[in-house]
């Protein structure tokens, strides 16, 4: 999982952005930080680590952001085209 020092190294992501930042995987937070830079604005963070979830969120490998005022399909396409993520949920 990610360390507090690693969290401090990001440009757009702060530990306070997440409920359980220490439970997230470094690779997903790093990709998320780069993607925020590509989109050009910071999203609202909805969800990340979910205790007890046997899937990606429970492993700290998924983050659910939203960009108010932006078309979700546009954001999804940007994420897909960025090649930063191993998978994209909707």
**Domain residue spans of the chain:** 4-82
Give 11's Cβ-side CA count (13 Å radius): 11
What pLDDT shows up at residue 49?
Answer: 87
User: 56: which 2 tokens?
Assistant: 């990606």
What pLDDT shows up at residue 82?
Answer: 95
Helix locations, 1-90, DSSP H: 4-8, 26-39, 72-82
Q: pTM to 2 decimals? A: 0.88
The whole-number average pLDDT for the span 66-82 is: 94
Contact (CB, 8 A) for 39 and 32: no
**Is 2 in a helix, a strand, or coil?**
coil
Q: Provide the terminal-to-terminal Cα distance of the chain, rounded to the nearest Å.
A: 24
């Amino acid at each position: 999982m990610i360390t507090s020092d690693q969290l401090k190294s990001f440009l757009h992501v702060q530990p306070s952005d997440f409920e359980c930042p220490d439970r997230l995987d470094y690779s997903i937070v790093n990709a998320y930080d780069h993607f925020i830079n590509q989109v050009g604005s910071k999203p609202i963070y909805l969800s990340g680590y979910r205790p007890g979830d046997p899937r990606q969120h429970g492993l700290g490998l998924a983050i659910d952001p939203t960009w108010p005022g932006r078309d979700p399909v546009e954001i999804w396409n940007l994420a897909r085209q960025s090649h930063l993520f191993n998978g994209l949920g909707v």
